[in-house]
């Protein structure tokens, strides 16, 4: 975090800036006073009623002017010296002085003076700027511009610079701008061919053409989505404790596609917040709502369900408020906000909207939606067509067999499974438990509960042809919570079920029964019955003991019937080796010679008179009949049909299920939670928007209404607002925050710092904007409908043409937008300097849309401000170290993802495939196990193969409790909560990663191959190729000298030690071009590593 | 909209010149960089001077320069280890009275239990040292240092489940998002080492069992700059991620390459003037030094046999608790600021009498050895050691008490930790619990109090160590926490 650094400009600067600060002509409440009051006073004299001392409130004028109980008056307009506020902040009395010494806060002399003058001038209050709807400000006129003004952005920037006695830097050379804009819009560098093409393009629209080319690349959507994933706290695992995998990558695909389609930001907002509530919501619109299911979810055994369900709702409220409004709503969870006019009621008003999901706290993964990919949708459509054809052929053939089926049914011998319950003759527990035979032949287990226990049960039977074994796990009052398991949560985990059959007549004849399949009436997720016959002690069958407490039954089918003539001794082994202490509490074993449940089932169906059978029963009977008795032709058709259905089932089973938002039929009541605690319910609260935006100080309702008329749900019913209403309200043109917050983040994307530096907070405690008019101008510009650009028909015009209106859209609720933003912008006072003016597209016939993000991107990347050089002089550095005034372009390290993607791209290894599930590239071994090797919950990092190693980093599998290490080292957050701003650090650990992570070593090897095969014949040509590929510029003579010397040193070393060369070329899984001389390849790999490690390579300059 | 033409001027109160000069090497400043590049300043460990950190810190003379936190994850049972309750002898097997339980919420694991029979300590206690402290037979070595430690018997917390409880202890908040305590120390006080990270994390491998997982957030940087996150020192593979050179790159070639990178970066810096390039040059130099300092740190070959006698033979095996305790001492010697160990698997809901002893065995001797070792080296005076889990365990048994394979459930209302070293009064016990070891009887110590005390020993006023985030000054201890004066030396 760096903003404290901001004021350095003031601290060190002499001249106009400092002078202006020392004696502003007038005192401005928002600029000069509110920050002082907010930071020092509001915690006890602000919006939070419960924390308020002396009943004095300073954030509201009438309250600050009223006498308090003692009779004192804090603020007497025009009379500073009699104002109690001034007395208390200036007194020497330690008991009386404000702020109280124990707060550690103290006002400076300048602050006291500001307050004094403000009161003397009448103590005028203003509303917080960010809570007032932005109006389009006039574009400042620049007289005698000394630099190019390419669009209004520049007018605002240059105006400010001129006031500070500064001027912009010269324009950066073309390569620099191209590399900068390519990284900014796609997260990847330009190719040499692209650089050459741009250098050769002398047309007036050369820059515009590049921008449109970049927009058209799918890389654009990937790069923009990357930033959105931080806000959405996207990850591939659940986050708390056990941190198991989840499937949300379909939602990530949705985001990428939305950016690539240039979905307007209002639609982008509405679909993600409330796509499910739109009329006739499509799968894609419901998928979009995954945004608010990306929060952490717990499965920890002992947690209290409601406690965590509450946390999920809280997360949605705070993430939504931060992302769209830049508000720190979380503060109002436990008490009224200390600084902003946000009450607990406001918080729980929003909470109520997000509180309607039919979800649980423990394992709250529902509701989910099957979200087929495009390929799956196509495959399914094809399968449906195939299936329909087979089915009709089958049906026609089956019709002719009806009489035969009747005969079959008549001859069908009613069979039913006869179970012989095992009467145990021998009982043993290897773990030392006691097995006691009960009257019903079940075996009650008690006593010692060892980590590993195997129940060995012996019995005899005269049956032969035994076709099925049944195991019942029964509940019992003596078991924890009545069982059926012995663990204290009533669960069990059966690792293996084994049986040996021994001939009684000839004991040397014995057979270990091989079970071909197993079924159970209930299996817990990840603990399927099939685990009991897989031979692995680490997996097993469990039955959700803590929540279920019911008898459970399992059937085991041998691959062939068994049983010896003359009697068989059965030796059962029930192994419990997966998790300690999880034995079955009361097992009972039975055997049967019946072919299994199917015969019994059919007998049951046949017993129902034909006319009384329902469709399902009839269908099932016919299915069995056809499978068993029909002609070969019919059998073939039946087999085809089954195969088609199976294929469809397989495709359907592979369709990813994604968590989505959905509201319950019956609304869940919302209560204010006292101190934010899930179990301390206060008064009942209805869904509502924060009052500060909907109700004026005098109680008058502001537009939009608390219940906007735009809602499609009973406009006048007085029903509380839904999530959909919330979403529409956020993007209504009257909302003061949404557009500003969005614009500011985009600005930050380019310049490293937002126009409002606290991009996560636009509240009272936020940093005032560096260029407030520019922020508002851009915000209004974003909301205005834009004509679609055509880079080839740009003309110069002082203002935009009157935009046409957008057609009414159900997405935004009827004709809401009609006539709202169509008005011409207020007349600009901009004087058009020679050569300046605004580049504006001529109106096109293509559709018009407001909230066009690309319009904003264009304005920025084509501005002269963005096109400046980033070179900085010591004087300018000292004057404005953080480049807040933008007298130069920013020079910023690439994001974590771009650092890696860049290396893969330069080396030619990058595999570009848009979307799909997350992948597992190289990662040091054992990182996940180090933190979680708990049986049943640990996850393997199964390193990917081939293309998976070289995908863009936004597809790297994101495990929250152990995030991808190299990305993490380069400041990627852990994704446990909504992050607006990443820190930007430079550390030794980053150096180690870039130097030694196999990703980069392998990339260097491939980069070297490219250099040797594509970089020309001479060393100089190759060095230039290499350097230019990475930095977009040619090396200087001095740089070339360093590189050449290094190359010679490396070459000498590798020629001397060919074994080292061999080793150094083995890093990474991709094959090496064996045609290249090993020593030469190794030496160039070292040069490539140097280049990949240059500050310039990982920086957009 | 109101014009705010001079925002740079209005934010002046956020910064001082000194703040600028004191910025860490990883931040922006040119001046800070100059000091980083000055070789004299690399001798920080010897001189005891810190690099980085906030201006004005420490707030007062610190008693401890560094912290070694032995986290006993999973939660040891206080009445079987540090808090002797002879009265339980008579109460054994009787129902826990409602007057004691006071409706305390229970975890989902015992909330369905019908009976709550009291289970006495399953091993005997003995008195140790001049102080006569009672210590269970599970911890005889810790008994041996009874006169050097302070046992706090009245810790209490809010959370009743592992994830929130550990997160609370390590970050001051039950929910993820806040910086960890080690990150606070790194952020506030900077580092004392020129070639090792300020905040190091050591995770002991369990020899058997199936421990509770850990999470990167426990040593994460939260909203602080990410260079303050803890660096895991691993017992397998590279001790620090990506430390080793790739195969085939010899010492000479490595140095040549780094020199080449430095030259090219320097040329670029001269051209574009960005001071951040100098920071990167310095980072590469430090990385190079770490490649030597870390292997030196983990090379135990020069440790005399007496070391392994003290810590136990297991200290020769990487990844054991004994090895990590020894490594903690070596890190302390080399200037690490905050050393966080995790010893896991105390979570015995069943078979506690069988499982607790082996768990105790793993930590008893090395923890005591660490205190003794530091004392012998004269380092105990300025090193603060903390030993304890995220909550305690219930006095009533979970499962069947009679069978002897019972367990104890999570218990947040009272539990014991011990502290030793810099700033802590040795040979005392603090606070009293009731006869059932269920409630605090006097002198409660909240998690935030412990955090405040820990920072206090480091010379930091916990109310003034803040980071401005989202426009608010955040603290590790939120708006709570009182220094526990009673345990200060």
CA distance B91 to chain A (A): 23
Closest CA to A849 of A773, A937, A782: A782
If you count residue pairs, one on A and one on B, with CB atoms under 8 Å apart, how many are there? 405
Output the CA–CA distances (angstroms, integers) from residue B159 to A676, A1017, B107, B324, in the order listed: 15, 68, 10, 28
Q: Are strands B428-430 and B432-433 parallel, antiparallel or unpaired?
A: unpaired
By percentage, how much of chain B surpasses pLDDT 70? Answer: 89
Looking at residue B50, its pLDDT comes to 75
Cβ contact B472–A328 (<8 Å): yes
The tokens describing A913, both together, are: 């495939």
**If we measure between CA atoms, which residue out of A376, A274, A310 comes closest to residue A710?**
A274
Residue A801 has pLDDT above 80, yes or no: no
B415's enclosing H/E stretch is strand B415-421
**Which residue, among A743, A735, A744, A758, has the nearest Cα to A39 in the 3D structure?**
A758
Q: Is B333 strand, coil or helix?
A: helix
Q: Tokens for A473, please give them.
A: 């796990």
pLDDT value of residue A813: 55
Q: What is the pLDDT of residue A1083?
A: 95
Mean pLDDT of chain A: 87
Is B270 near chain A, with CB under 8 Å?
A: no
What would the mean pLDDT of A844-865 be, rounded to a whole number?
86
Residues of chain B neighbouring A933 (CB-CB closer than 8 A): 210-211
Of all residues in chain B, what percent are helix, strand and coil, respectively (each to 5)?
40, 15, 45
A46/chain B closest Cα distance in angstroms: 14
**E strand or H helix at A654:** helix A632-654
Residues 6+ apart with CB under 8 A from A1054: A1060, A1061, A1064, A1078, A1079, A1080, A1082, A1083
Q: Name the phi and psi angles at A419, rounded to 5.
A: -100, 130
List CB contacts (< 8 A) between B171 and chain A: none
**How far is C-alpha B357 from the geometric centre of its chain's CA atoms?**
23
- Give the strand pairing for A468-473 and A587-592: antiparallel
Does B4 sit within 8 Å of A31, measured CB to CB? Answer: yes
Q: What is the mean pLDDT of residues B76-105?
A: 94
For residue range A386-401, what is the model confidence (pLDDT) as tens digits? 999 999 988 888 888 8
Report whether the peptide linkage leading into residue A1031 is cis, meaning its omega lies within 30 degrees of zero.
no
Range of the domain at A169: 152-214+768-879
Q: Is residue A467 part of a domain?
A: yes
Q: A121 and A166, same structural domain?
A: no
Which helix H or strand E contains A658, and what residues bound it?
Answer: strand A657-659
For residues A675 and A334, give the distance between their C-alpha atoms in angstroms, rounded to a whole number. 4
Position with higher pLDDT, A870 vs B9: A870
Q: Which residues of A touch B26 (CB under 8 A)?
A: 985-987
Same domain, A435 and A566: yes
| A1056 exposure class (CB count in 10 Å sphere: 0-12, 13-18, 19+) | exposed
Contact of A648 with A380, CB cutoff 8 Å: yes
Tell me A261's DSSP state.
T
Residue A602 or residue A703, greater confidence: A602
Q: pLDDT tens digit string along B126-145? A: 999 999 999 999 999 999 99
**Residue of chain B whose alpha carbon sits nearest to that of A1035:** B264
Most confident of A1008-1012, B50-54, B346-350: A1008-1012
Indicate yes or no: CB of A985 within 8 angstroms of CB of B226.
Answer: yes
Please state, in angstroms and as integers, the Cα–Cα distance from residue B225 to each residue in A880, A973, B440, following that order: 22, 10, 38
- Cα diameter, chain A: 115
DSSP alpha helices (H): ranges in B417-477? 447-457
Work out the pLDDT band at A419, boundaries 50, 70, 90. confident
- Judged by a CB distance cut-off of 8 A, whether residue B424 touches chain A is no
pLDDT in tens, A462-494: 988 888 899 999 999 999 888 999 988 889 999
Question: Hey, what are A305's tokens?
Answer: 């369900």
Q: Which two tokens stand for residue A160?
A: 């400010």
- Nearest by CB to B216, which of A362, A925, A974? A974
Higher pLDDT among residues A1010 and B110, named by residue: A1010
CA gap A248, B75 in Å, rounded: 34
Q: Is the pLDDT of residue A522 over 50?
A: yes
Residue A812 pLDDT exceeds 70: no
Average pLDDT over residues A626-655: 85
B16 has a pLDDT exceeding 60: no
Judge whether A131 lies within some domain: no
Give the pLDDT of residue A411.
65
Q: DSSP H helical segments within A202-343, as ranges?
A: 206-216, 218-231, 249-260, 265-274, 283-288, 305-320
Q: Report whether pLDDT(B337) > 60.
A: yes
Contact list, B112 vs chain A (CB under 8 Å) = 481
A657 within some domain: no
Of B21, B51, B49, the residue nearest B36 (C-alpha): B51
Q: What is the 3-state secondary structure (H, E, C) of A526-589?
A: CECHHHHHCCCCCCCECCCHHHHCCCEEEEEEECCCECCCCCEEEEEEEEECCCCCCCECCEEE
On whether both A441 and A583 belong to a single domain, the answer is yes
Closest partner residue to B216 (CB to CB) among A104, A447, A961 is A961
The answer to whether residues A122 and A159 belong to one domain is no
> What value does the mean pLDDT take over residues A791-813?
43
Rounded to 10°, the helix A1078-1093/A1037-1056 angle is 140
Q: Per the structure block, which two tokens stand in for A422?
A: 């095992």
Output A66 or A696, whichever has higher pLDDT. A66
CA gap A98, A106 in Å, rounded: 8
Distance from CA of A867 to the nearest CA of B (A): 16
Report, as an integer, the average pLDDT of A900-905. 98
Give the CA distances from residue B24 to residues A5, A10, A881, B20, in Å, rounded to whole numbers and listed in that order.
Answer: 12, 21, 16, 9
Q: In degrees, to the nearest 5, what angle opens at C-alpha A690 toward C-alphas A689 and A694?
A: 75
Cβ contacts of A657 within 8 Å, gap of 6 or more: A247, A368, A369, A370, A371
What is the band of A702 on the pLDDT scale with cuts at 50, 70, 90?
Answer: low
Mean pLDDT on A1053-1061: 90
Which has the higher per-residue pLDDT, A26 or A121? A121
The CA distance from B448 to A218, in Å, is: 49
The shortest CB-CB distance from B351 to any of A581, A1062, A1066 is to A581
- B225 close contact with A: CB closer than 8 A: yes
A623 contact B CB<8A: no
One domain, residues A688 and A831:
no
Report the distance separating Cα A477 and Cα A490, nearest Å.
11
Is there a single domain that holds both residue A171 and residue A66?
no
Least confidently predicted of A48-52, A218-222, B363-367:
A48-52
Read off the pLDDT of residues A359-381 as tens digits, 9 standing for 90 and up: 999 999 999 999 999 899 999 99
- The answer to the question of residue A44 being in a domain is yes
Q: Please indicate, yes or no, if residue A332 is contained in any of the structural domains.
A: yes
First to last CA, chain A: 21
A92 lies in the same domain as A157: no
What chain B residue is nearest to A993 in terms of C-alpha separation? B242
Region A287-304: mean pLDDT is 94
Does some domain include residue A197?
yes
Whether residues A59 and A163 share a domain: the answer is no
How is residue A584 written in tokens?
Answer: 């079955």
Q: Which of A322, A439, A456, A317 is nearest to A745 (CA)?
A: A322
Distance CA B81, CA B429 (A): 14
Q: What is the ipTM of this complex?
A: 0.87
Per-residue confidence (pLDDT) for residue A838, from 0 to 100: 40
**b or e along B237-263 (b: 16 or more beta carbons within 10 Å of the residue's beta carbon)?**
eebbbbbbbbebbeeebbebbbebbbb
Interatomic CA distance for residues A783 and A766, integer angstroms? 23
Q: How confident is the model at residue B22 (pLDDT cuts 50, 70, 90)?
A: very low
Q: With residue A434 as reference, give the H or E element that holds it.
A: strand A433-437
**Residue numbers in A near B160 (CB within 8 A):** 302, 304
Residue A795's pLDDT band (cuts 50, 70, 90): very low
Higher pLDDT, A122 or B248: A122
Average pLDDT over residues A195-216: 97
Which of A565, A595, A625 is the endpoint of a domain?
A595
Any idea of the CA torsion for B391, B396, B399, B401, to the nearest 10 degrees? 130
- Which residue from A minimizes the CA distance to B471? A765
- pLDDT score for A787: 66
Q: B279 contacts in A (CB within 8 Å)?
A: 986
A581 touches chain B (CB under 8 A): yes
pLDDT of residue A717: 54
Average of per-residue pLDDT values in chain B: 88
Q: Which long-range contacts (CB under 8 A, 24 or more apart) does A806-810 make?
A: A806/A847, A806/A848, A806/A849, A806/A850, A810/A278, A810/A279, A810/A712
**Are residues A567 and A463 in contact, defined by beta-carbon separation less than 8 angstroms?**
no
Q: Given A24, A243, A447, which is nearest B6 (Cβ)? A: A24
Which tokens is A845 given?
A: 């016939």
Last residue of a domain, one of A595, A612, A635: A595
Q: What is the pLDDT of residue A700?
A: 54
Residue A693: per-residue pLDDT: 85
Give domain status of residue A1056, yes or no. Answer: yes
A158-167, A344-353, A844-853, A1063-1072: least confident range = A844-853
Q: DSSP labels for A191-206?
A: PHHHHHHHHH--STTH
- Interchain CB contact of B57 with A (< 8 Å): no
pLDDT tens-digit series, residues B414-466: 999 999 999 999 999 999 999 999 999 999 999 999 999 999 999 999 999 99
Assess A1095–B contact: CB distance below 8 Å, yes or no. yes
> In this structure, are A1021 and A1076 located in the same domain?
yes
Per-residue buried b or exposed e for B32-41, using 16+ beta carbons within 10 Å of the residue's own CB: bbeebeeeee
CATH at A460 = 2.60.120
CA distance A1026 to B195: 33
**Helix or strand or coil: residue B395?**
coil
Peptide bond into A1020 cis (omega under 30): no
Whether A298 and chain B come into contact, CB under 8 Å, resolves to yes
Note whether residue A356 is domain-resident: yes
Looking at residue A167, its pLDDT comes to 94
3-state helix, strand and coil shares in percent for chain A, rounded to the nearest 5: 45, 10, 45
Q: What is the mean pLDDT of residues A946-960?
A: 97
Residue A603: per-residue pLDDT: 67
Please tell me whether residues A561 and A434 are part of one structural domain: yes
Phi, psi of A19, deg, nearest 5: -65, -40
* Count of structural domains within chain A: 5
Element (H, E) at A1039: helix A1037-1056
Tell me: do A452 and A560 sit in the same domain.
yes
Same domain, A589 and A461: yes
A-interface mutation test, from B104, B264, B342, B358, most A Cβ less than 10 A away: B264
């Amino acid at each position: 975090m760096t903003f404290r650094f901001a004021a350095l400009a003031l601290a060190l600067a002499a001249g106009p800036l400092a002078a202006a600060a020392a004696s502003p002509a007038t005192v401005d409440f928002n600029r000069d006073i509110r920050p002082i009051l907010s930071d020092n006073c509001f915690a006890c004299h602000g919006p939070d009623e419960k924390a308020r001392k002396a009943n004095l409130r300073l954030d509201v004028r009438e309250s600050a002017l009223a006498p308090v109980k003692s009779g004192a008056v804090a603020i007497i307009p025009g009379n500073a010296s009699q104002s109690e506020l001034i007395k208390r902040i200036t007194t020497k009395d330690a008991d009386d002085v404000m702020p109280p010494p124990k707060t550690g806060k103290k006002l400076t002399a300048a602050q006291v003076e500001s307050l004094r003058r403000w009161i003397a001038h009448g103590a005028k209050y203003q509303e917080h700027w960010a809570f007032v709807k932005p109006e389009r400000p006039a574009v400042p006129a620049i007289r005698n511009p000394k630099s190019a003004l390419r669009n209004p952005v520049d007018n605002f920037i240059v105006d400010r610079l001129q006031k500070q006695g500064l001027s912009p830097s010269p324009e950066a050379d073309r390569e620099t701008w191209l590399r900068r804009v390519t990284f900014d819009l796609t997260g990847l560098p330009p190719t040499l061919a692209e650089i050459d093409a741009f250098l050769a393009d002398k047309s007036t629209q050369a820059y515009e053409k590049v921008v449109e080319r970049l927009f058209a690349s799918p890389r654009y959507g990937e790069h923009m989505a990357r930033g959105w994933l931080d806000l959405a706290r996207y990850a591939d695992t659940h986050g708390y404790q056990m941190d198991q995998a989840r499937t949300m990558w379909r939602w990530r695909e949705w985001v990428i596609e939305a950016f690539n389609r240039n979905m307007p930001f209002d639609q982008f907002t509405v679909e993600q917040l409330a796509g499910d509530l739109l009329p006739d919501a499509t799968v894609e619109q419901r998928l979009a709502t995954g945004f608010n299911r990306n929060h952490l979810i717990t499965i920890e055994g002992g947690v209290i369900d409601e406690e965590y369900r509450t946390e999920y709702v809280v997360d949605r409220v705070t993430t939504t408020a931060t992302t769209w409004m830049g508000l720190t709503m979380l503060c109002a969870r436990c008490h009224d906000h200390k600084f902003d006019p946000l009450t607990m009621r406001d918080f729980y008003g929003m909470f109520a909207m997000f509180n309607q999901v039919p979800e649980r706290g423990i394992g709250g993964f529902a509701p989910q939606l099957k979200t087929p990919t495009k390929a799956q949708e196509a495959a399914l459509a094809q399968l449906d067509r195939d299936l329909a054809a087979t089915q009709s052929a089958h049906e026609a053939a089956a019709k002719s067999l009806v009489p035969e089926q009747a005969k079959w049914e008549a001859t069908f011998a009613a069979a039913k499974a006869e179970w012989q319950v095992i009467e145990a003759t021998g009982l043993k527990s290897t773990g030392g438990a006691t097995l006691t035979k009960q009257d019903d032949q079940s075996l009650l287990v008690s006593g010692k509960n060892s980590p590993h226990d195997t129940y060995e049960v012996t019995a005899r039977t005269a049956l032969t042809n035994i076709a099925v074994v049944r195991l019942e796990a029964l509940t019992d009052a003596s078991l924890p919570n009545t069982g059926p398991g012995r663990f204290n949560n009533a669960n069990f985990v059966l690792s293996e079920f084994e049986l040996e059959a021994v001939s009684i007549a000839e004991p040397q004849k014995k057979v270990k029964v091989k079970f071909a399949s197993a079924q159970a009436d209930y299996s817990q997720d990840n603990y399927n019955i099939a685990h009991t016959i897989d031979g692995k002690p680490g997996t097993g069958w469990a039955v959700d003991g803590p929540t279920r407490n019911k008898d459970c039954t399992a059937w085991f089918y041998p691959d062939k019937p068994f049983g010896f003539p003359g009697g068989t001794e059965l030796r059962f082994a029930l192994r419990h080796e997966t998790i300690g202490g999880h034995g079955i509490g009361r097992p009972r074993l039975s055997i049967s010679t019946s072919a299994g449940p199917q015969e019994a089932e059919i007998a049951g169906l046949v017993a129902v008179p034909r006319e009384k059978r329902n469709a399902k029963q009839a269908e099932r009977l016919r299915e069995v009949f056809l499978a068993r008795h029909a002609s070969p032709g019919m059998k073939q058709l039946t087999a085809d049909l089954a195969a088609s259905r199976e294929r469809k089932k397989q495709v359907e089973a592979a369709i990813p299920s994604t968590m989505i938002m959905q509201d319950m039929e019956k609304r869940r009541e919302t209560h204010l939670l006292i101190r934010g605690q899930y179990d301390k319910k206060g008064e009942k609260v209805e869904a509502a928007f924060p009052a500060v935006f909907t109700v004026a100080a005098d109680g008058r309702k502001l537009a939009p209404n608390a219940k906007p008329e735009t809602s499609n749900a009973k406009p006048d019913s007085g029903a509380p607002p839904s999530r959909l209403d919330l979403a529409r309200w956020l993007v209504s043109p009257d909302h003061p925050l949404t557009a500003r917050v969005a614009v500011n983040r985009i600005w930050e994307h380019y310049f490293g710092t937002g126009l409002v530096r606290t991009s996560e907070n636009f509240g009272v405690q936020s940093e005032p904007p560096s260029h407030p008019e520019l922020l508002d101008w851009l915000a209004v510009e974003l909301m205005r409908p834009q004509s679609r650009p055509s880079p080839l028909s740009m003309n110069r015009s002082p203002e935009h043409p009157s935009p046409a209106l957008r057609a009414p859209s159900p997405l935004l609720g009827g004709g809401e937008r009609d006539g709202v933003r169509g008005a011409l912008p207020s007349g600009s006072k901009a004087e058009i300097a020679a050569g300046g003016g605004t580049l504006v597209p001529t109106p096109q016939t293509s559709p018009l849309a407001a909230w066009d993000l690309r319009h904003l991107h264009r304005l920025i990347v084509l501005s002269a401000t963005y096109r400046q050089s980033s070179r900085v002089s010591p004087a300018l550095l000292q004057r404005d170290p953080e480049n807040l005034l933008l007298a130069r372009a920013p020079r910023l390290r690439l994001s974590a993802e771009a650092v890696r993607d860049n290396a893969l791209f330069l080396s030619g290894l990058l595999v570009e495939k848009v979307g799909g599930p997350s992948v597992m590239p190289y990662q040091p071994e054992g990182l996940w196990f180090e933190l979680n090797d708990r049986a049943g919950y640990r996850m393997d990092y199964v390193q990917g193969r081939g293309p998976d190693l070289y995908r863009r980093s936004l597809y790297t599998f994101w495990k929250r409790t152990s995030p991808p290490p190299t990305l993490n080292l380069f400041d990627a957050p852990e994704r446990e909560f909504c992050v607006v701003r990443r820190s930007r650090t430079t550390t030794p650990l980053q150096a180690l990663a870039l130097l030694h992570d196999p990703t980069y070593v392998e990339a260097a090897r491939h980069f070297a191959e490219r250099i040797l095969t594509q970089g020309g014949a001479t060393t100089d040509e190759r060095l230039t190729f290499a350097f230019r590929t990475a930095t977009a510029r040619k090396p200087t003579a001095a740089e070339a000298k360093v590189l050449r010397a290094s190359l010679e040193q490396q070459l000498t070393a590798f020629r001397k030690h060919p074994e080292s060369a061999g080793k150094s070329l083995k890093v990474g899984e991709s094959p090496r071009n064996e045609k290249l001389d090993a020593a030469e390849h190794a030496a160039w790999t070292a040069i490539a590593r140097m280049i990949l490690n240059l500050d310039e390579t990982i920086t957009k300059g | 909209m109101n014009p705010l033409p001079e925002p740079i001027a209005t934010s002046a109160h956020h910064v001082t010149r000194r703040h600028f000069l004191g910025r860490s090497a990883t931040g922006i400043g040119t001046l800070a960089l100059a000091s980083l590049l000055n070789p004299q300043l690399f001798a920080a460990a010897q001189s005891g001077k810190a690099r980085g950190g906030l201006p004005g810190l420490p707030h007062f003379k610190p008693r401890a320069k560094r912290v070694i936190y032995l986290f006993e994850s999973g939660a040891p049972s206080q009445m079987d280890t540090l808090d002797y309750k002879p009265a339980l002898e008579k109460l054994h097997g009787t129902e826990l009275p409602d007057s004691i339980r006071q409706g305390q919420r229970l975890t989902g694991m015992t909330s369905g239990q019908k009976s709550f029979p009291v289970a006495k300590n399953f091993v005997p206690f003995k008195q140790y040292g001049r102080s006569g402290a009672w210590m269970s037979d599970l911890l005889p070595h810790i008994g041996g240092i009874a006169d050097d430690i302070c046992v706090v018997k009245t810790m209490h917390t809010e959370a009743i489940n592992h994830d929130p409880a550990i997160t609370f202890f390590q970050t001051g908040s039950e929910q993820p998002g806040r910086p960890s305590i080690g990150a606070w120390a790194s952020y506030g006080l900077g580092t004392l080492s020129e070639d090792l990270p300020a905040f190091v994390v050591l995770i002991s491998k369990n020899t058997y069992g199936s421990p509770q997982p850990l999470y990167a957030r426990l040593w994460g940087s939260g909203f602080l700059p990410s260079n303050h996150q803890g660096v895991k020192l691993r017992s397998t593979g590279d001790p620090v991620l990506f430390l080793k050179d790739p195969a085939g790159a010899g010492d000479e070639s490595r140095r040549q390459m780094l020199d080449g990178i430095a030259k090219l970066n320097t040329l670029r810096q001269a051209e574009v003037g960005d001071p951040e390039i100098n920071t990167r040059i310095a980072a590469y130099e430090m990385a190079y030094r770490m490649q030597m300092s870390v292997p030196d740190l983990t090379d135990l070959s020069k440790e005399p046999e007496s070391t392994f006698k003290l810590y136990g033979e297991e200290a020769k095996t990487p990844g054991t608790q004994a090895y990590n305790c020894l490594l903690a001492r070596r890190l302390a010697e080399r200037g690490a600021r905050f050393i966080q160990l995790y010893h896991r698997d105390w979570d015995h809901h069943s078979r506690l009498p069988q499982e607790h002893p082996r768990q105790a065995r793993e930590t008893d001797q090395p923890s005591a050895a660490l205190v003794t070792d530091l004392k012998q080296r004269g380092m105990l005076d300025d090193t603060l050691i903390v030993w304890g889990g995220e909550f305690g365990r219930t006095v009533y048994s979970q499962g069947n008490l009679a069978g002897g394979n019972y367990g104890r459930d999570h218990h947040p209302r009272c539990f014991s930790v011990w502290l030793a070293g810099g700033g802590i009064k040795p040979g005392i016990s603090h606070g009293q619990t009731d006869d059932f070891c269920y409630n605090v009887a006097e002198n409660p110590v909240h998690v935030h109090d412990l955090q405040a005390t820990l920072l206090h020993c480091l010379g930091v006023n916990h109310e003034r160590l803040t980071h401005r985030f989202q426009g608010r000054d955040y603290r590790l201890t939120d708006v709570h926490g009182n220094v526990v004066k009673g345990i200060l030396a």
